[in-house]
Structure 1
């Protein structure tokens, strides 16, 4: 079935996120209380709310924020993957990202991400609403049946109905013989690189490598040759 999807209609994407506030001590008391309350059932008894904040706040849309969105689409002239990144202040990058969907070319766009249905797609939609921005049509899920939502999730494709299974992008890249996107940093390092090093360019480079890897995992799942990036 996935062989029938026009690859030129697919928008491959990846996001990088960090906590909205760099450290637990800089949070206001209300946010600390609400974090403690929300995460109590997720934390083991020996893990304090402050420690869990450092570990997990970036992946929860209520307490985190998006620092970059990288997208990739097939360039019709070259057949290579054209990658673009939106970065900067969160509201500004989200507005710019949403403008992308005004293009007639994206009327039938299909979003693709790894674990996108559980993370990237809802995270983007939630942060759009928090920033007072109407989510573009591809992110509007209300009233739609699951089979009416055409999004592609490479983790879901790999499950083949095995809902208890989890597989990382890095592992899929390895087993399909695709160069690893984690040869410099991984997701656990992003917040420190952002807040302590201030090196957004390094994070963008990492995010864009994930997009190329994602696209090539999808290609391998269709038994197709690897894509190259359009320079």
Structure 2
């Protein structure tokens, strides 16, 4: 089935998220209490809510998106390229820019969004943050009333599971076993919060996010038994 998909119709993406504020102390009392309730079973007695706040970015209710990187294939004759770009800055603005891309260039029925663990993380996270920010959902993220086969989402983790729904494979592990050059040569997800708030280095996060987006595309190529992208075929725009 995936071999029949036209690569040019797929928008690959990855997001980077951080806690909504720099520290637990900056939250209002209600949010502090709600965060404590949300995380109490995960924290157990090992961490206080304050100590656990560095992980708040994984929840759309307590985090925010600081970067969305996208990539797409473009073919000219016998030549192909993979072009990446990123949306960053104030969250409402970057979400509006991403929505505009979906509505102007990837709005047709044959267009598909693809991410690693996208069905569990990236797609619902973006949708939730859009609703929180008062942004009407674009068609590709509005799943209300859609049947499973009508959802225009592709998930490389889902494809790798082959029906084994208890199985989780990280992007780092999957690229390693499939012989794909690792994107994890600088930072990893656990460091994004510090790079954003402490180092104030969004450019470093963008590079990291775009590398992950490229890796998602490379995984799909391997699942289709096709040649991987070469460095000269990857263009940042």
Bin for the TM-score computed over the shorter chain: over 0.9
| Contact 1:9–1:106, Cα closer than 8 Å, also in 2 | no
| Contact 1:110–1:151, Cα closer than 8 Å, also in 2 | yes
Q: 1:10-21 counterparts in 2 under 5 A?
A: 10-21=10-21
Go from structure 1 to structure 2 and tell me whether the alpha carbon gap of 1:104 and 1:23 turns closer, same or farther (over 3 Å shift): closer
Count of residue pairs brought into register by the alignment: 230
Q: Which runs of 5+ in 1 are unaligned?
A: none
**So what's the TM-score if we normalise by structure 2?**
0.94
Which of 151, 154, 159 pairs up with 1:152? Answer: 154
Which of 114, 127, 130 pairs up with 2:129? Answer: 127
Are 1:230 and 2:235 an aligned pair? Answer: yes
Which of 194, 197, 200 pairs up with 1:195? Answer: 197
Q: Distance in 1 between matches of 2:106 and 2:62?
A: 34
SS of equivalent to 2:80: coil
Q: 1:89-100 counterparts in 2 under 5 A?
A: 89-100=90-101
Q: What does residue 30 of structure 2 align with?
A: 30
Q: What does residue 184 of structure 1 align with?
A: 186
Which moves more between the two structures, 211-220 or 105-114? 105-114
Q: Distance in 1 between matches of 2:179 and 2:142?
A: 35
**So what's the TM-score if we normalise by structure 1?**
0.96
Q: Distance in 2 between matches of 1:102 and 1:114?
A: 22
Q: Distance in 1 between matches of 2:152 and 2:143?
A: 11
Q: Distance in 2 between matches of 1:59 and 1:135?
A: 21
Deviation (angstroms), 1:214: 0.8
Q: Which runs of 5+ in 2 are unaligned?
A: none
Q: Distance in 1 between matches of 2:204 and 2:102?
A: 27
| Contact 2:11–2:106, Cα closer than 8 Å, also in 1 | no
- Please list the CA deviations of residues 122-144 of structure 1 after superposition, one character each: whole Å capped at 9, or x if unmatched: 00000001111011101001111
- Please list the CA deviations of residues 91-127 of structure 1 after superposition, one character each: whole Å capped at 9, or x if unmatched: 0111111111232554131000000000000000000
| Contact 2:20–2:62, Cα closer than 8 Å, also in 1 | yes
Q: What does residue 139 of structure 2 align with?
A: 137
Deviation (angstroms), 1:46: 2.2
Shift >6 Å, 4+ stretches: none
- Please list the CA deviations of residues 70-108 of structure 1 after superposition, one character each: whole Å capped at 9, or x if unmatched: 000111334111101000100011111111123255413
